[in-house]
Amino acid sequence: MNGYINALEAEGFKALIDSSRNILIISHTNPDGDAVGSVVAMRNYLQSKGVFSTIVLPNDYPDYLEFLDDREKILIYKKDPQKIINLADSSDLIIALDFNQLQRVDELEAHILDSGAKRVLIDHHPSPDCDNFNLIISNTDVSSTCELLYWLILTLEEEVSKIDTSVATPLYVGMMTDTNNFSNSVNSATFKMASDILSTGVDKESLQHKVFGGFSQKRMRLMGHILLNKMVIIEKFGAGYITISKEEQKLYDFSEGDAEGFVNLPLNIKEVNISALFTERDGQIRVSLRSVDDFSVNKFSRLHFNGGGHERAAGGKLFINFDEVGSFFERALEQSFQKCKGADGPAEER
Ligand code: 5GP
Ligand code: MN
């Protein structure tokens, strides 16, 4: 069952940990449950081995994940860049989790590259950044980075009972959020991981409530508003999209994480197989993309939205007028579907 990790990877990882004294743990910009879950699990795992480490994220994480941040607080680069630059300089190992390319950490990238520290990447996205890491543990078959990290820790510890709940809990949360509560990218190994973790005493009802039942009233009302007024369905492409403007964010007292899961909403409609969420930000538009058939939103995002991700879940950014996102999305779909016409196989971005 533990076929995701080979002995060389586990030994290589252990050797790097054993020879390091100051470890920096990082994840991607706009951190989600898998990002926060994997960095916290790694920090707590290293702590259980008597190894010191610090977590740094490029920008803040959503409120609903705060319960995971219960030890030394996670440091946020945007809030205190100089402190983090010094930390990067003095660290001897950097562990990067849940992203494939170093540019996913934005401004932090330059300081990671400047540091003399060795670098490890543990991730489940396609195309890992082979040039910038000393060790890469990457697999796109797992549900989440948290699942891959679980298999790595289990390989090192050999028995589930040796994994502390302070490690098992964030791993479970990251897997649960990346799979949208066991609905995407789960396979038998994912359920085995979940079953193993429950055997360590993790309280799944409590986590279920914290992660999926702890939203604010304003977030529920915003969801009602976008479903009623903002969801657009483009029937000819089997696609749907939602836009959330700055004005609406102000009206509904929007905070980071409030739009979590919104991108999946159009996919509940029978005819919709491709979905997008566009959120207006300062100087850019955040793009979230999902699909439920063989349409690769990873390629679609790389081609049209300055981003990437997985085949069925991707993201990116746009630098256009917010009023134009709908027509931009429709044109991008048009191009993808046109490429299909007359072709024997799938088009480039499918
Ligand atoms: P989400 O829609 O949840 O923000 O992101 C979905 C997936 O796309 C995640 O796996 C995430 O890592 C990836 N992703 C999101 N934004 C970007 C981006 O700007 N660039 C790249 N390369 N991937 C992204
Ligand atoms: Mn992930």
Q: Is 345 contained in some domain?
A: no
Q: Are 231 and 304 within one domain?
A: yes
Specify the pLDDT at position 350.
45
Specify the pLDDT at position 215.
85
Specify the pLDDT at position 3.
85
Q: Are 115 and 233 within one domain?
A: no
Q: How far is the first Cα of the chain from the last one, in angstroms, to the nearest whole number?
A: 31
Gap between the Cα atoms of 231 and 236, Å rounded: 16
Q: How many domains does one find in the chain?
A: 2
Q: Are 80 and 115 within one domain?
A: yes
Q: Are 43 and 169 in contact (CB under 8 A)?
A: no
CATH code: domain of residue 297 = 3.10.310.30
Q: Is 225 contained in some domain?
A: yes
Kindly state the tokens that stand for 25: 């743990």
Among 177, 212, 247, identify where a domain stops: 212
pTM here is 0.92
Domain span holding position 311: 217-340
Q: Is 105 contained in some domain?
A: yes
The SS3 of residue 94 is strand
CA 344–ligand 2 middle distance (angstroms): 33
Of 121, 99, 65, give the one whose Cα is nearest residue 256. 65
Distances (CA, A) of 283 to 196, 253, 320: 45, 19, 9
CB-ligand 1 contact for 27 (6 Å cutoff): no
Q: Are 187 and 243 within one domain?
A: no
| Triad 240, 317, 312: Cα angle to 5° | 50
* Residue located nearest, by CA, to atom 8 of ligand 1: 314
The SS3 of residue 93 is strand
Q: Which of 104, 121, 178, 281 is the pocket-test mutation for ligand 1 (most atoms within 8 Å of CB)?
A: 104
CB-ligand 1 contact for 179 (6 Å cutoff): no
CA 302–ligand 1 middle distance (angstroms): 11
Specify the pLDDT at position 214.
80
- Residue 222: phi, psi to the nearest 5? -65, -40
Specify the pLDDT at position 344.
42
User: Which regions of the chain are under pLDDT 70?
Assistant: 1, 340-350
Q: Are 229 and 158 within one domain?
A: no
CATH code: domain of residue 29 = 3.90.1640.10
Q: Are 261 and 196 within one domain?
A: no
Q: Are 292 and 269 in contact (CB under 8 A)?
A: no
* Residue located nearest, by CA, to atom 24 of ligand 1: 315
* Residue located nearest, by CA, to atom 22 of ligand 1: 308
Q: Are 152 and 266 within one domain?
A: no
Q: Are 47 and 182 within one domain?
A: yes
CB-ligand 1 contact for 317 (6 Å cutoff): yes
Q: Are 94 and 195 within one domain?
A: yes
Element (H, E) at 308: strand 308-309
Among 195, 212, 229, identify where a domain stops: 212
Q: Are 241 and 201 within one domain?
A: no
- Residue 138: phi, psi to the nearest 5? -135, 135
Among 212, 234, 263, identify where a domain stops: 212
Q: Are 226 and 242 in contact (CB under 8 A)?
A: yes
Strand partners, 189: none
* Long-range CB contacts for residues 226-234, cutoff 8 Å, separation at least 24: 226/262, 226/265, 227/265, 231/265, 231/266, 232/326, 233/266, 233/269, 233/271, 233/272, 234/329, 234/330, 234/333
CB-ligand 1 contact for 315 (6 Å cutoff): yes
* Residues, CB-to-ion distance under 5 Å, ligand 2: 34, 98, 144-145, 178
